[in-house]
Structure 1
Amino acid sequence: IHKEQDRGGLAIIADIQKKITDAFEVFDHECNKTVDVREIGTIIRSLGCCPSEGELHDMLAEVEEEEPTGYIRLEKFLPMMTKIKNQKELVKYMTEEGEPFTQEEMEEMLSAAVDPETNTVRYRDYITMMVVDEN
């Protein structure tokens, strides 16, 4: 993996997460990092994703607490949304710039980047893992 490409990929992830957080905060009326579950569809659409009702239902099932509270927490929403946006943007980026990646390589990278316990991408570990020392 070229370092240039790599840096671009990470910038994309940071950028995506900022966009998602900003969109989320618009609906976070209590400013407590939670939004009403009914707002989630609007947030997702405002981020340029157009899930069908079924897909939306699945997405909500993924981010809802074990005990549904009617609220979705940013820490649950962000990784899920990042993954979705990421796959779109990263795939676009990786397949249009430089040496194209195959879908399998993309999935491998994404699964390697996501921490299974928190289901989030840890930049520092990811950067360390991605930047191949050339010496």
Structure 2
Amino acid sequence: MIKPGHSYNAACHCGSVQFRVTISENDKPPRRCTCSICRMRGAAAVSTPLDGIEFLKGEEMLTKYQFGTMTAEHYFCSKCGIYTHHKRRSSPNEYGINVACIEGVSPFDFEEIVVFDGVNHPKDNDGASHIAGYLRFTQD
């Protein structure tokens, strides 16, 4: 399981992009949101400070995508297309890291993932994050 303050190796699907990430000391369990891009990519994310990511290989393989306010920066491997991380709009001093890129971790390792209301983004409203719901994974 992912522990705040610990460092982990991570990579995209094809291995072209490899990095080491240190999870924020005060990070909460992985989360998702309902904004248009998160809804479509379906990834769960954890946070790291901007200096908490070190690229070991393939940083030049990353492609940046922005939309809407052009504040958040979403990064994808240009070879396999996997979303690796993004610079957060709600907390621009942090990156959101795709938990599925972290070695030995799967979004299915978490019984519950909080889903935040990204359609009504805190930067556009009262500044507070609102929970839209929860994703739960149970095994038969």
Greater strand share, 1 or 2?
A: 2
Relative contact order, CA 8 A, sep 6+: which one is greater?
1
TM-score, normalised via structure 1 length: 0.28
TM-score, normalised via structure 2 length: 0.28
Greater helix share, 1 or 2?
A: 1
Structure of higher CA gyration radius? 1
